[in-house]
Amino acid sequence: MCTEIIVGSYYAGDRMQEIGNIPTSQDCMNKCYQDERCFAWSFLPNLKLCYPQFSVREQVKDANYMSGSCIDVKLKVPVCTEIKSGGYYAGDRQQVTGSVSTPQDCMTKCDQNNNCIAWTHLSSAQICWHQTLVTAWVNDVSYTGGSCL
């Protein structure tokens, strides 16, 4: 069951059909959980509008919204373990703040982020990216990556 409820922001991402006359954020979250295509939700309490989403990106601050993600309970394995040298998974990438020394550290940070389902590490620059969307594997000897699915 989804449990995350954030007040004052929403996740950017691709929305599905809006659902009207939803009384509470809990009801909106439950609608998302019941739809296999939904991985996040946004709710406008004063309008009683629910926006299920089939993709999740960064959080956007907006006092009018309540929101949450269901990625951690719908997709992720309990602990990320995949480390593949020589490439990365294509998909949306958000750079992790600060220097991340090793692929293992990058994977651990992904594991701790409920919305992260894949990660990419560039050792030469100590840069780590987290992803909420995974597509094809891209071969590139400069990178190490992994999936938490």
CATH number of the domain that 107 lies in?
Answer: 3.50.4.10
Domain span holding position 20: 6-74
Query: Based on the domain organization, do 62 and 88 belong to the same domain?
Result: no
The pLDDT of residue 114 is 81
pLDDT of residue 5: 92
Q: Is residue 96 part of a domain?
A: yes
What are the structure tokens assigned to 32, written together?
């998302």
At 44 the pLDDT is: 98
In this structure, the answer to whether residues 64 and 106 fall within a common structural domain is no
Domain count, the chain: 2
What's the length of the chain? 149
Domain assignment of residue 66, yes or no: yes
**For residue 37, what is the DSSP state?**
T
Q: What is the structure's pLDDT at 72? A: 73
Structure tokens at 82: 């995949």
Same domain? 67 vs 127: no
Question: Is the domain of 111 the same as that of 137?
Answer: yes
Task: Give me the pLDDT at residue 1, please.
Answer: 76
Using an 8 Å Cβ cutoff, are 149 and 140 in contact? no
In a domain, 79, yes or no: no
d(CA 145, CA 140): 10
Position 102, amino acid: T
Predicted local confidence at residue 98, as pLDDT: 94
Long-range contacts of 40-44 (CB under 8 A, 24+ apart): 40/11, 40/13, 40/67, 40/68, 40/69, 40/70, 40/71, 40/115, 41/2, 41/67, 41/68, 41/70, 42/10, 42/11, 42/15, 42/66, 42/67, 43/67
Give the pLDDT confidence of 37-92 residue by residue, as tens digits: 898 999 999 999 999 998 888 889 999 999 998 887 777 788 899 999 999 999 88
